[in-house]
Amino acid sequence: MNKTILIVDDEVHIRVLLEQTLEDLEDEGVELLTASNGAEALELIQIEKPDLVFLDVMMPKMTGFEVCQAVKRDIATQNTYIIMLTAKGQEFDQQQGHEAGANLYMTKPFDPDEVLEKATEILAIA
Amino acid sequence: MSAQPSATPKLFHHSTPSTRTTGWFNRLKVGPKISLGYAAALGIAMGGTIIGIAVGNSYQQQAQNLQADAIDEILDIKDLRQSLTQVIAEERELITWLDNPERFQSIYELYRNSTEEFEEEWAELLAEYEEDIEEGIEEADEIEFLENLIENYDGIVSNYFKDVDQIISELNLTELQDKTLIEVKQRFIDLNRRPNAIKIEEFAEQLSKFAETIEEEELAAAADVIQTAAQLRTQVITISIVLSLIIASFLALLISRAINRPLKAVEETALRVTREGNFDLRATVTSNDEIGTLSIALNQLIEWVSTYTRSLKEAQQELEEQTQELNAIIDNLGDGLLVTDSQGCITRANPALRGMFSLNDTQLNHQPAHTIFDQRITELITKNQTDPTISQSKELELTSDRVGQALVTAITSAVESETEGKAIQSVGSVVLIRDITAEKEVDRMKTDFISTVSHELRTPLTSVLGFAKLIQKKLEETVLPAVNIDTKKTERAARQVRENLNIIVSEGERLTSLINDVLDIAKIEAGKIEWNMQPIAIAEIIERAIAAISVLLQTSGLDIIRDIESDLPEVVGDRDRLIQVLINLFSNAIKFTDSGSVTCRVFCQNNEVSISIIDTGIGLASDDLEKVFEKFKQIGEVMTDKPKGTGLGLPICKQIIEHHGGRIWAESTLGEGSTFSFTLPLNIPVESGIAKVSLQTVVEQLKDNVDRTIAPERKTQKTILVVDDEPHIRTLLRQELEATGYQVQEAKDGMDALRKIKATPPDLIVMDVMMPNINGFDLAAVLKSNPATMNIPTIVLSIIQDQERGYRLGVDRYLSKPIDTDTLLHDIKTLLTQGASNRKVLVVDMDTSTTKTLMDVLVSKGYQVIEASTGHDSIEKALSLKPDMIIVDSAISTEHELVKTLRFDNGLENIFIIMMDHQLVPQMQTQEFQSSNPTPRH
């Protein structure tokens, strides 16, 4: 069964960066999806039910926290692994992320190697 | 009494009319004055009497003289009559002796002599009468009588004698014969028959009559006169006595007034000054006696009092002005000011404070502060009163969404604080509250700004760094191996691309850490950092820091030398932040040292721990020693070789150390190395035997000690029931708890929890509050009221901050989300080792109010309280209910040897017993537990 990763960020460069970072996984049959805002992301999650979501916090329409909360509330999607990506390096954000139900929290700028490593680990791809 | 001051001198003028005339009198003292008065009165009385007596006597004498005159007169007249009678008798005798011439001759001689004598006396009488008439002292009828005599009888005696003499001369007695004798006899008889002779006899009779008349009238008159004189004398004496008495009295009155008036005036002046407080009044000095001296003294006294009062008034006015100024300052102070006495009662509050708490119409003075203000302020005051040397500040919410910063300082008497060694006594506290809403707002905006800027910087940086790293990776993994690096040019290009990419990545990373540092320092400055202060072993955090820099240390090839004093006391601080400081200092030392060593020296001195990181590196110029702690002041020239820092590391260190109450500084010799040192104060508990211990403290102690009275942990694995409606929270807790070695059960709501607890009772329950189907509070209430479940320790973990309700329900711990795992695990461990929940406290006291007070406090803190009022009762209850702790009145304890009985006779040797000294307890009720004096004894 194919694994799916959803990349959510309003900044196109970040999306591209993450896509390129994770493109190696495509060889393993992982499908990469992208969304440029929270609302779109939530819709995609509900339809595609990705295994892993890289979720930016500061986005128009719907923040990452809100998306995260909605995803974790919905029984159908509550097992989705969510990695919050934020530019706000404050403890407060981390707490908020925790409360919203995020599984992991990564601060921008992130190390591409680390991202790839985490994704591999989470998707349990050998 | 209401006379004007000017009236007083007039009074004196009146009172001493004698002043003008008798200046000497006023120079006399009061004693002589009185003596003089008495002497004058006595003298006048005596003089008057003497004069009266003298006048009376003189009158009497006069009367007596008059009487004597009258008697003389009468005697004269009687003599005259006698003489006349003799003349007549002798003339008659002549006849008889005619026959005897010798005899006749001798009779005749007698007759002639008598006649002459009579004539003489008559003449004398007439002469006297002449004189008397001339003097006019003779009475009229007397004179008339005498004139009558003179007219009728003057000269008849001598005429008669002539007649007789003529007869005799014609005689010749020797030859007288009978015949002639008869004839002569006849002649004499004839002569006797003549009118003259008859007249002489009449004359004699008249004289007798005259004498009788005089006797009758004159003597009566004289007696009258004497009587009148006696009366007169009495009258004169009486009058003179009365008169002299009046004069004496008048004089005495005058003198006494002369003494009394000035005295009265002095008295009146004194009274008026006293009554009216009019210090312009002066007593007039009119004499040189004691009263004069008194007046002078009084005037001086008034002057003195007046001066004194004036200066006092001036001082008071000055003081009032100062007070008014101070009051004005305080009232117009922008900051809220609250002053309390040592009992925590409000003594002063300014309008700003009232405004801050919307207390405009509330009576504040003399109210206990805790009845008006919330716990945060009263806690500050209580702490300050417990230890006046500590000035604390705290942020608190004011009304209408404003934020204040309260700073409390103790009011200590200056004198006592100067005396070294004495405990400073605080007489009250001053709480100054500043509205820092604007500052907070600015702070918040600043923080927001920084966080926004940092966000905006991070996003492009993410792309830059991310792509750079991807390029690096792709270059190394894909591009370069595929490229033919045969030519030198290609090789050089490949090397340069790699190096350039490395620069981009490392600079990007430096930019990232700069952003992190900026955020960090902004947070510290804005007070946004939550400081997790706890006791820390210095040696341990140093090891942690060294471990963190081990990689750096290895690459540098430097030696690390530990010069750490053994038995260092613990300091209170934020572990992670202090490690951050140490890492920063170590990294700097390594960065700027090429060869040699880095020494870490730690020692304890003057109540503080001093930590120094000493390197043998390039060192710093003395001018730069201060600058390194300033923001963005990297010492460029010196560091050009290794520009690796952000310039914010040391300023952050400084902020962190200063927050801990320590100091940080650098010492260095250029080229030889630098020493960066900081100190951390040791919090040494104040040893004060009589220091008041608040009940809060006792409760804390109870808690600690109850926690310690724990049975040894059983080896079996404990089961913890996690009740939360959010699955990920349950998961999170499960992971953490299982990692610690507990067995975990989950329940998704209160109902589910009850079911699971009934099936298999867990050893501990961790529950959320906001849950569907029975919320946390209700669940706790159900569990704590059921004997089967009431002993299961319960921890509430919620975003809802209602500790009070939780503890009232009997919850053992109330923790707030976000979850602080360390605290949670610590509490779980404590509660599990402790075993049963709801620690039982046995309170033994005869005074029910004390018991009530303690119960209220303990129950509110979640203790189960059992009362006992006698020694036997308490022993029974202690044995049957096995409380975790006993609070006992020392009197009861002594009486029943309670401690000994329980500890040694009944096997309760692990029980914790607190004795309360009863005399010290009553204060509790009045001071609402703030300053009671229970003295724990072990």
ipTM of the complex: 0.78
Q: How far apart are CA A69 and CA B71, in angstroms?
A: 170
The C-alpha torsion from B899 through B901 and B905 to B911, rounded to 10°, is: -30
For testing contact with chain A, the best of B452, B457, B459, B733 (most A CBs within 10 A): B459
Q: Among partner residues A17, A98, A113, which is closest to B463 by beta-carbon distance?
A: A17
Asked if B731 contacts A79 with a C-beta cutoff of 8 angstroms, the reply is no
Helices A91-100 & A64-73 angle (0-180, nearest 10): 30
Chain A residue numbers with beta carbons less than 8 Å from the beta carbon of B459 are 11, 14, 87, 108
At residue A40, the pLDDT reads 92
Give how far A3 is from chain B: nearest CA, Å: 22
pTM attached to this predicted model = 0.40
pLDDT of residue B664: 92
Percentage of chain B modeled with pLDDT above 70: 83
- B817 vs A17, A99, A109: nearest CB: A99
Residue in chain A lying closest to B520 (CA): A90
Which token pair is B514?
């700069």
Give the C-alpha separation, B800 to B802, whole Å. 6
Q: Which of B843, B816, B815, B817 is nearest to B831 (CA)?
A: B815
Using beta carbons and an 8 Å cutoff, which residues of A are at the interface with B? Answer: 11, 13-14, 17, 20-21, 58, 72, 78, 87-91, 95, 98-99, 101, 103, 107-113
- With a cut of 70, list the residues of chain B below it in pLDDT: 1-23, 136-140, 172-179, 413-424, 526, 528, 632-646, 683-716, 818, 834-839, 859-863, 881-882, 884, 895, 903-912, 917-938
Question: Residue B369's pLDDT is what?
Answer: 81
The per-residue pLDDT for B35 is 82
Relative orientation angle of helices B649-659 and B575-591, to the nearest 10 degrees: 140
B765 near B794, Cβ under 8 Å? yes
- State the DSSP code for B368: B
Q: Which of B831, B564, B565 is nearest to B721 (CA)?
A: B831
Which one of A58, A89, A98 has the shortest CB-CB distance to B516? A89
Testing the interface with B: which of A15, A79, A90 to mutate, by most B Cβ within 10 A? Answer: A90
Give helix B101-135 / helix B30-96 axis angle, nearest 10°: 150
pLDDT number for residue B644: 55
- To the nearest whole Å, the CA of B654 is away from the closest chain A CA by 21
The H or E element containing residue B243 is helix B195-276
Residue type, B215: E
3-state secondary structure B492-531: HHHHHHHHHHHHHHHHHHHHHHHHHHHHHHHHHHCCCCCC
Using an 8 Å CB-CB cutoff, list chain B residues near A103: 728
At residue B937, the pLDDT reads 40
Give the number of C-alpha atoms closer than 13 A to the C-alpha of residue B317, restricted to the C-beta side: 6
CB contact under 8 A, B470 and A111: no
Tell how far CA B324 is from the center of its chain. Answer: 19
So what's the pLDDT on residue A33?
A: 94
Strand order across the B912-916 sheet: B864-868, B840-844, B885-889, B912-916
- Mean pLDDT over each residue of chain B, to the nearest integer: 77
Residues of A in contact with B530 (CB under 8 A): 91
Closest partner residue to B459 among A14, A99, A111, by Cβ? A14
Q: B179: burial class by Cβ within 10 Å (0-12, 13-18, 19+)?
A: exposed
The DSSP code sequence of B464-494 is HHHHHHHHHHHIIIIIHHHS---SHHHHHHH
Q: Scan for tokens 């006019």, then name that residue.
A: B136
CB contact under 8 A, A87 and B454: yes
How many Å lie between the alpha carbon of B337 and the closest alpha carbon of chain A?
Answer: 34
**Going by C-beta distance under 8 Å and a sequence separation of 6 or more, which residues neighbour residue B883?**
B839, B840, B841, B842, B866, B877, B911
Cβ pair A109:B462 closer than 8 A: yes
Extract the tokens encoding B223.
């007696």
Q: Do A99 and B465 touch (CB under 8 A)?
A: no
A109, B466: Cβ pair inside 8 Å?
yes
Contact at 8 Å (CB) between B609 and B682?
Answer: yes
Residues near B500 by Cβ (< 8 Å), separated by ≥ 6?
A: none
User: Which residues on chain B are in Cβ contact (under 8 Å) with A89?
Assistant: 454, 458, 515-516, 519
Task: Answer yes or no: do A14 and B463 touch at CB < 8 A.
Answer: yes
Contact state of B459 with A113 under an 8 Å Cβ cutoff: no
Phi first, then psi: what are they for B336, rounded to 5°? -80, 135
Strand partners, B563: B601
The answer to whether B397 and B373 have CB atoms below 8 angstroms apart is no
Residues of B in contact with A95 (CB under 8 A): 818
AA letter at B937: R
Cβ-nearest to B458 among A95, A103, A109: A109
Q: Name every chain B residue with its beta carbon within 8 A of the beta carbon of A105.
A: none
